[in-house]
Structure 1
C-alpha cells in the first residue's frame, strides 16, 4: 500500500474532478469523468450509479488509471492501481454520505430520490499502486510513488 503524495491530494482538492480509465476484456479503453469523490491518504472512492461500461470493466479487469490535472498550470498525475467494491453496509453508507454531502450539502437519500429513483449506488474504492507525474519530461515515466509488492512490480514492469 502506498500513501497518495500530498501534492496529488492537493490537486484532488483544487480541481474537484478525476478521470477514470479502464479497459474491457477485449482491450477496448473507456474513460469516465468523476466529479463526486472522496479520498484518504491511501484510497480514492466514488459512487457508481450506472451498471454498464466502467463497472463491467472493473469486474473483469480491476486494474485502472485515475488521472487528475490542472489545465491552467499544466500539471497532473496518473495513479495506477486496482478497484474493488465496498460491500460492508456501514462503510458503504458512510462513504456514500460523505460524497453526497461534499457534492451537494444534502444527505444521500435526498439526492437519490431525484437522480436514481431510490437506487443506491455502488461505492468503488481505488487503491493506487503507483503514481506518475504527467509532466512531459523524460523522467515522467518513473513512478514518484510505488507499492513494491510482487503483483505491482510485475504488472507495471518494474
Structure 2
C-alpha cells in the first residue's frame, strides 16, 4: 500500500524579476495544462482525439498586503511580460514555480474590518516551470515551442518539423 501525504500550502514568497520580493502569497492557482480535443465521427461511432494544442494558461496569485512601491511598479508592467517566481514548501519538499506572462487583471479585496488586505493578480501565462526538490515536473515555453511534461517534450516532433 502506498502512503500518500496530503499537500498543504502554508504561504509562499513571490518575487518579480526586476522588482525583487513583492509580497507573501496567501493563495495561488497554478495554470491548468489542458489540450484541445477534436471529436471525429465515422459511420458508426464518435471518437475523441487528443491534440497537442495547448489551451490558454492562466494563473491567479493572492498577495498579502499592498505595498505602494510594488503596486506602482506592477502597473507600469501592464501589457508587458513579467516573470514571477513563487517558492513554497509542500509536504517537506521545496517547490519553485516560475511564471512569465502579462498581468491580465489586478483586483483588490473587499474592505472588511479585522481582515487582512489582499490583492489578486491574474496572469496570462506563456512560460510555466514547476520544480519539486530540483526535479522539473513541467516546463512549458510557448515562445520556444517546448512542452515538457514529466521529462518528455510532447512538442519535440512538431518543433523539429517546423524548424527543420
TM-score, normalization by structure 1? 0.48
Name the structure where helix makes up a greater proportion of residues.
Answer: 1
Greater length-normalized contact order (CA 8 Å, ≥ 6 residues apart): 1
Higher strand share: 2
Computing the radius of gyration from Cα coordinates, the structure with the larger value is 2
